[in-house]
Structure 1
């Protein structure tokens, strides 16, 4: 008696299919592009400059100019897919591009808030809207790279976490809207990953701190220093980008994906903790962590005024 043949697994080499990875010049995006190309997919790797294109171009990876905040770039990408010489289907869209600029809510200029939302949220929505018709035809998949910051908003990370919280919500709505069309939507929540963006974020925070007013220096310099110190120390033992990219490639191609995946032991620990613990308890844990990192510069909570000599001016550093 003949047995029915099993359908081929979704992650088998598919040389007749396309994958788009935004933010593919370095870090997680570049690693994901390489891993998917190694599986046999033809990867359209979003980059912003000619030098980035030269760096990522290899067998199975075709760089495309893609700043996801530029409508003309998105339209050109859609035309590239529609006019593919081999008429290959678009199998996966990996929404990975992002920026990270961290400073206290009071300090970060609104222009930098808007810039992060333009890239980390609206840019991904624009790409998704334009490519969804191709993904419907192929019954493909959208893999959106969020962050542990999409669930747990740490001090100084308000703007970045805000973009990721919003991206998580939009992904939930999208998944429920397009599942009946055969399109799958998956969110990946990385914790610490050793990338150029993560390494630069600390330097950017310190540069912004150096330009703060004297009053903001007094209020926030200890918190910023402690946060940067903690993140720098953690990144030394964080997951390599290549390992993160390989895991994302598997998520992008597995037959029956979950709706969410954490990436890294820190994300696997922090995300459930943030959901289970009362908010005040989480606040206290984070406050103790920052005081232990930089006790000399972290201001004590609401001290009683001293009766003796004249008080320092508000602009004096503590």
Structure 2
């Protein structure tokens, strides 16, 4: 698949395009001449992203009628443009220890980060088959290596990785390409907010869970907060995803950021116990002060 010319303005769908990686990806694709249907959830988000080549569409990927409306918008495109690519970027992140995170929070993350994307793929795949287009699934370094307290979020990304592999092999002979992008740390509103959510959940833990997990949660949040200050800017991540979505011969997977480029191959090469030690060293809990007699 070659990069579309600015005059052709083929359609690209980007879910989760209100802020962060999705917004940056939408703007980058519009700058290359594509017409981006940018998924947002509110009028305020629509006003913020609307621009030349970026058309906001109401798209909560857990709401079937929103997906139906998106399919109608593509089918009834006034210029008869083809759908060139679907970029599944929408996501949420709520991190807490496996034992502590309420089941409804597990289910909510799977509804958005996995089942919502599958619903969009199922609805839009016929358009991509006709155009011999591309699906780009935004996974995470967490889809390969799960950090402490990231069990639910990483679980959704591991599942998305597996679904992407199956889909790629299913549609290979139909002319549709499936690509996975694995970002590491990226400076986004979601990433910045997730630490506060984790700390709030930790504050609500029982005294026993506080004893077992309190230091771990606080040290993990502190480490990630510090790392995000030097993480990949969303604009650079979006520009790279736009390239992946339009390059002629894509690889099946791409990492984004130095941390992902290092962690992904380590997770695949190192034995589990050794990888555990590597991650434990980078997420060392602060020592408790010695008790005074």
Normalising by structure 2, report the TM-score: 0.97
Choose 1 or 2 for highest CA Rg: 1
SS at match of 1:187: strand
Q: Within 1, Cα distance between the matches of 2:124 and 2:7?
A: 20
Does the alignment pair 1:277 with 2:270? yes
Residues 222 and 14 (structure 1), Cα distance of their counterparts in 2 relative to 1, 3 Å cut: farther
- Which stretches of structure 1, 4 residues or more, deviate above 4 A after TM superposition? none
Matched, 1:54 2:41: no
**Could you tell me which residue of structure 2 aligns to residue 296 of structure 1?**
288
Q: Indicate conservation of the 8 Å contact 2:4/2:10, yes or no.
A: no
Q: Distance in 2 between matches of 1:14 and 1:183?
A: 23
Counterpart position of 2:215: 222
Residue equivalent to 1:313: none
Aligned length: 291
Deviations 1:181-203 (A, max 9, x none): 00000000000000000000000
Is it true that 1:143 corresponds to 2:142 in the alignment?
A: no
TM-aligned CA deviation for residue 208 of structure 1: 0.2
Structure 2 gaps of 5+ residues are none
Under a length normalisation based on structure 1, what TM-score does the superposition of the two structures give?
Answer: 0.89
Q: Give structure 1 stretches of 5+ with no counterpart.
A: 1-7, 298-308, 310-318
Q: Does residue 29 in structure 1 map to residue 22 in structure 2? A: yes
Question: What's the CA shift string for 1:14-49, capped at 9, x where partnerless?
Answer: 534100000000000000000000000000000000
Tell me by how many angstroms 1:11 deviates.
4.7
Q: CA deviation at 1:160?
A: 0.2
Query: What is the alpha-carbon distance in structure 2 between the residues aligned to residue 162 and residue 25 of structure 1?
Result: 24
**Alignment partner of 1:252: what SS?**
helix
SS of the equivalent of 2:283 reads helix
Corresponding residue for residue 4 of structure 1: none
**CA RMSD of superposed structures (Å):** 1.5
270-279 vs 41-50, which moves further? 270-279
